[in-house]
C-alpha cells in the first residue's frame, strides 16, 4: 500500500482502502476521474478550527448547523485519482452501518403543516425566506453503495458526485449542482443557485416572479459577503438557466481574486454557509425557524463538503443527497418558502428534486 504524507499532494495508484477507514470520493463536474482520500484518523472540528486544515491535503465535510454538530476532516493519508471503474475494482466499502431507526419521514400533510408554520414565522419575525426540507426513505443495501455511486456519476456528468464515510458522520452520497466555493491558487468562484422548475420547460421561457426573487435574494446575500471580505476583480454573470438532471435552476456566477490567510478563508466559508439557498434570510432567524419546525435533524444535508489543500480548495453544497443505513437510504430534499409559496407547488418541487436520486435507486 502506498501512503502519501499529509502535506504531499502527489497522488498514488488506486489501492484498496483498509476496512474501517474514513474515506471520501469526489468526482467534480465534467471530470472523468474521482479524487479519493482515506485515513484511519478523521478529525472532528468546530468552525473556529476549520482554518487548521484548509491548507492541508484532505477532505472536509461540514454539517448544516456547524455550531451544533461537528465538522469532520479526513486527512489524505491515502490519496489517489482514478476512473469510477477503477474505484469500484478497489472493492471500496464502508464498515457495517446501523439500521435505520427514526428521523421523521414527512408525508404531504405534515409538509403542508410545516409550511404553514413557516409562513406564520415569515409574517411574525419578518423573515424573507426559509427552506423547508423533508426526508424520503428508499430501500438500499450497503453492498449496492459502489454501484449506486457508479450510476450517479454516469447519470449526472455535470454535477459534483460525492460519497463519504466517517464513523462520526455515517455514510452519505449525492450529486450536487451547487458550488459553495472553489479556489485554485488566488482565483475563486462561487454561485447563487435557486429557483426550480422542470427541465421540460424550455430554457428561453421566462421564470416566474417568485423564483426570480428567491434567487435574487441569494445573489444579493453572496454579493454582500464578498464585499465584506474585500475580494478583488469581482465579475458577476447571470442569472441564467442551468440544468440539473430533470430540473433547472437559476444561477449567477461570481468570479474574483482573493489572497486570504487560512483564517480569512475559514471566515469567508463561515459567512457564506449556510447560504439562503439552503437556510433562509435573515440567516440566524431562518436557522431558528428550521430547528423549531422541521421534525428531523438535517445532519450533513445542506452542509458543504470537498477538497482541502494548499493550492486548491473546492467545496460543494451537500444537496441532492442521501444518508445510508444498513438497508435504507434516506433522501433529503428541500425548497425555499416565501410569503408567495403555494403548498402543492412546494411539495411538487421536492418530488422533482428527489427524482435525481430515485431515478438511480429505482433502477438498481
Ligand atoms: C434545498 C435544495 O436545493 C436548493 C434550493 C433551491 C430552491 O429553493 O429552488 C434550488 C437549488 C438549491 O439551492 C435541495 O435540493 O434540497
The model's pLDDT over 100-124, given as tens digits with 9 standing for 90+, comes to 887 688 999 999 999 999 999 999 9
275 CA closest ligand 1 atom index = 13
Other CB atoms closer than 10 Å to residue 312's CB: what's the count? Answer: 14
Give which of 17, 12, 16, 360 is closest to 165, Cα–Cα.
Answer: 17
Give which of 113, 249, 68, 67 is closest to 176, Cα–Cα.
Answer: 249
If pLDDT is split at 50, 70 and 90, which confidence band does 287 have? very high
**How big is the chain, counted in residues?**
364
251 SS3 class: strand
Q: Is the separation of the CB atoms in 4 and 79 below 8 Å?
A: yes
302 CA closest ligand 1 atom index = 1
Per-residue model confidence as pLDDT tens digits over 315-347: 999 999 999 999 999 999 999 999 999 999 999
Q: Taking residues 184-197, what's their average pLDDT?
A: 96
What ipTM is given for this predicted complex? 0.99
Percent of all residues in the chain with a pLDDT value above 90, rounded to a whole number: 91
Ligand 1 centroid, distance to 310 Cα (angstroms): 30
Q: Average model confidence (pLDDT) for the chain? A: 94
Least confident among 3-17, 214-228, 279-293:
3-17
Whether this prediction's pTM lies above 0.90 is answered by: yes
- Provide the residue ranges of all domains of the chain, joining segments of one domain with +: 22-361
Q: Is the separation of the CB atoms in 1 and 39 below 8 Å?
A: no
Ligand 1 centroid, distance to 33 Cα (angstroms): 26
Q: Is the pLDDT of residue 126 over 90?
A: no
- Position 61 scores a pLDDT of 98
If pLDDT is split at 50, 70 and 90, which confidence band does 11 have? low
Pocket test of ligand 1: the residue of 336, 351, 356 to mutate, having most ligand atoms within 8 Å of its CB, is 336
Per the DSSP assignment, residues forming a β-bridge with 43 are: 73
Pocket test of ligand 1: the residue of 319, 337, 341 to mutate, having most ligand atoms within 8 Å of its CB, is 319
Pocket test of ligand 1: the residue of 277, 280, 348 to mutate, having most ligand atoms within 8 Å of its CB, is 277
Per the DSSP assignment, residues forming a β-bridge with 175 are: 161
Q: How far, in Å, are 28, 114, 130, 316 from residue 125 at the CA level?
A: 39, 16, 11, 30
Per-residue model confidence as pLDDT tens digits over 299-319: 999 999 999 999 899 999 999
333 CA closest ligand 1 atom index = 16
Protein residue with least CA distance to atom 10, ligand 1: 194
Q: Is the pLDDT of residue 73 over 90?
A: yes
* CA dist., res. 165 & res. 39, Å (int): 11
**Cα 8 versus chain centre, distance:** 27
- Orientation angle between helical segments 343-361 and 108-124, nearest 10 degrees: 130
Q: Taking residues 67-96, what's their average pLDDT?
A: 96
- Position 103 scores a pLDDT of 67
- Cβ < 6 A, ligand 1 pocket: 131, 133, 178, 193-196, 249, 277-278, 319-320, 333-336, 353
**Which cell numbers in the block locate residue 288?**
431558528
Q: Is the pLDDT of residue 240 over 50?
A: yes
CATH 3.60.120.10 holds for 22-361: yes
If pLDDT is split at 50, 70 and 90, which confidence band does 267 have? very high
Pocket test of ligand 1: the residue of 111, 128, 176, 193 to mutate, having most ligand atoms within 8 Å of its CB, is 193
Ligand 1 centroid, distance to 279 Cα (angstroms): 10
Give which of 274, 262, 255, 254 is closest to 318, Cα–Cα.
Answer: 274
Amino acid at each position: 500500500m502506498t501512503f502519501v504524507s499529509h502535506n504531499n499532494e502527489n497522488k498514488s495508484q488506486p489501492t484498496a482502502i483498509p476496512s474501517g477507514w474514513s474515506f471520501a470520493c469526489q468526482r467534480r463536474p465534467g471530470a472523468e476521474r474521482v479524487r479519493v482520500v482515506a485515513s484511519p484518523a478523521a478529525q472532528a472540528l468546530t468552525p473556529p478550527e476549520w482554518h487548521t486544515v484548509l491548507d492541508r491535503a484532505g477532505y472536509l465535510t461540514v454539517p448544516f448547523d456547524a455550531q451544533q454538530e461537528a465538522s469532520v476532516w479526513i486527512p489524505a493519508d491515502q490519496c489517489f485519482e482514478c476512473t469510477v471503474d477503477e474505484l469500484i475494482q478497489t472493492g471500496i466499502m464502508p464498515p457495517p452501518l446501523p439500521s435505520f431507526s427514526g428521523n421523521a419521514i414527512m408525508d404531504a400533510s405534515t409538509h403542508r403543516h410545516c409550511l404553514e408554520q413557516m409562513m406564520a414565522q415569515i409574517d411574525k419575525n419578518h423573515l424573507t425566506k426559509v427552506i423547508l426540507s423533508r426526508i424520503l426513505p428508499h430501500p438500499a443495501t450497503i453492498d449496492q453503495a459502489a454501484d449506486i455511486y457508479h450510476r450517479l456519476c454516469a447519470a449526472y456528468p455535470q454535477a459534483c458526485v460525492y460519497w463519504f464515510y466517517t464513523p462520526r458522520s455515517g455514510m452519505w452520497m449525492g450529486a450536487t449542482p451547487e458550488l459553495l466555493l472553489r479556489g485554485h491558487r488566488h482565483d475563486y468562484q462561487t454561485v447563487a443557485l435557486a429557483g426550480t422548475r422542470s427541465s421540460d420547460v424550455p430554457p428561453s421561457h421566462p421564470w416566474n416572479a417568485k423564483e426570480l426573487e428567491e434567487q435574487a435574494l441569494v445573489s444579493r446575500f453572496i454579493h454582500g459577503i464578498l464585499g465584506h471580505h474585500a475580494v478583488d476583480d469581482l465579475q458577476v454573470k447571470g442569472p441564467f438557466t442551468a440544468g440539473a438532471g430533470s430540473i433547472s435552476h437559476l444561477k449567477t456566477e461570481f468570479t474574483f481574486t482573493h489572497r486570504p490567510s487560512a483564517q480569512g478563508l475559514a471566515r469567508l466559508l463561515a459567512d457564506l454557509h449556510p447560504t439562503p439557498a439552503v437556510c433562509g434570510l435573515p440567516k440566524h432567524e431562518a436557522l431558528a425557524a428550521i430547528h423549531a419546525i422541521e421534525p428531523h435533524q438535517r445532519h450533513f444535508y445542506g452542509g458543504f463538503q470537498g477538497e482541502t489543500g494548499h493550492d486548491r480548495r473546492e467545496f460543494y453544497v451537500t444537496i441532492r443527497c442521501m444518508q445510508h443505513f444498513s438497508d435504507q437510504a434516506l433522501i433529503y430534499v428541500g425548497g425555499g418558502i416565501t410569503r408567495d409559496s403555494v403548498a402543492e407547488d412546494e411539495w411538487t418541487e421536492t418530488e422533482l428534486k428527489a427524482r435525481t436520486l430515485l431515478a438511480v435507486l429505482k433502477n438498481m
